[in-house]
Structure 1
Amino acid sequence: MEETAYVSVEVPPLPYFLECGRTAYEPGEQHPARSGFAVFDLLVVDEGVLYMGEEGRHWNVERGQSLLLLPGRHHYPVKPCDVRTSFYWIHFDAPGAYVEIRNGNIAWEDPRRAHKPGWHDWFAPRALRLSKSGPVPLPEETFRALKELYDASAQGRYVSFWNDQRRFHDLLRLLELGRPPETGANVWRVAERIEAYIKRHYAEDVTNGTLAEALHFHPNYLLRCMKETFGCTPLAYLQRYRIEQAKLLLATTDLRIAEVAERVGYAYAPYFTNNFKRETGETPIRFRSRFRERGRV
């Protein structure tokens, strides 16, 4: 089975652009090896084939394909280019922690990020998902954006700074996985309607049946839309959204645990406590205590 891999970056804050360039190799030349490079390195090939490795994994990056190399990893050429090869490279950093997901499992985790039991890639306030390797989506638009960013790099940094960041974020939007493709736009729109409904009604009794009735779709279709767009079921999204709202109340109010539970949609406080612990690894009382201890430091 073909491996599916992507890098999920927690945002906000958004990744920020550092520099970019375009490099060409003649046959026999190759990309330099390096270790400890402290930022992301996005390579997008527009001619030939680039043979690259990272920590024992190898890729043949062909025309119209990209490879995202991670900070701090060992990057090296697998072999010299056998035809003329040119590619754009972009260095950027991301203050938000990141993970690499392979076939649905966490394969590499940012050392800055403490593991949370039950964490899922979409569970951050927002998760920017970028393909580890493979064809770039919308090639014509992507290469146009790359050229604009590269051409602008010839200007002075002070003059181009804000425009560079805007162009870079436009490029990330093109490269992001999970954005609405032309063939799946309706699935995406329905999933967003489910998400909006849950955020408005999370404190109420939300079920697959109430969602189907409110949105006028069969429950199985709603399930498919959420799985394809967010990687989870509607009720799993509801559960995690309720827990996030509970965290906010625990951190900012003195409400009793039972009151917090009721405000986020749980009629039975022990059930809320069990779900909270399963999602976060700690009880609501411990979460509140730890949060306030941290605030006094």
Structure 2
Amino acid sequence: MLGITRSRSAPNLSVRTYSYPSFESFVSRHGDDSWHTWSHISEDKVSYPVRADQATSFTHPILYRKRSALYFRCIVFVLLGIQMALGSLQWVFTTYRWRPQFTHEERSMSVILLLLSWINLILAFIGFRRLQFTFPLNWIVFASAFESLTLLVMCLRLIELDLTWPFMLFGFVVVAYYTLLGIWVPSMLTANLWILIVASIVVVITSGVALFIRLKMHYYVPLSFCLVLFGPWAMYNSQKLFVSHMREAYMTHQYLEAAAKMYTNYAITVWALVYLYHLSDETLENP
């Protein structure tokens, strides 16, 4: 059988890659406070042979660059504040100034197209990690996902004087309050169990107060959904940022992902508040 010869200068593409230790296995051996040690280890300039089918636009590992936790969180909340301000202004401006009138068919088609666009952008942004390794592309997808979700919420509730500032303010309060609740988790409980306990206690207290003061249904139904669904969702996003054993190693692009998830929570909370308010008012109180 004929042998296969290879030039001395040609690269050996079949060489095995060095197994770079994962952050999770490192933490399991050294404890939760080993992030700074891992950062120093990951900064070592070591060249690794890479297979041709694994190559990206970067020639060195970028997954474990050192990043201050405070600096990372500041970027996340600055981006979140910008998104919330721009989204709220766009909703108010569109509702009060343009006052668009769509037919049922036109609105349904717009919602379907925007929903498909937003789902595809989110899948590209969060699911396919390599798309985020090219610098301007992650910002482009981030801005496109934000804008498509903002337009989607607007089209879902495109009624004159519908997306008013009280709903936006209440959505902001829900995100801010439950973000603060997610910062601390008791040592004897898991993070998810703590979310369930907080949600159960708040729902019981709120239900008792609502029954005592005879709260109207078009206020009680949106409030209950916020306490059961959207508040714990914001609390979970907060724990991914602040609880050490829940977050991943801080990556170069992850502040965009965290801000996008938190703004998604805010936008859907505002839309659900408006929808549930009108739905309960029309069906439960005025049948």
Greater strand percent: which structure?
1
Instruction: Name the TM tier (shorter chain).
Output: under 0.3
Structure with max Cα Rg = 2
Relative to its length, the structure with more helix (as a share) is 2
Higher relative contact order (CA 8 A, sep 6+): 2
The alignment's TM-score, normalised by the length of structure 2, stands at 0.21
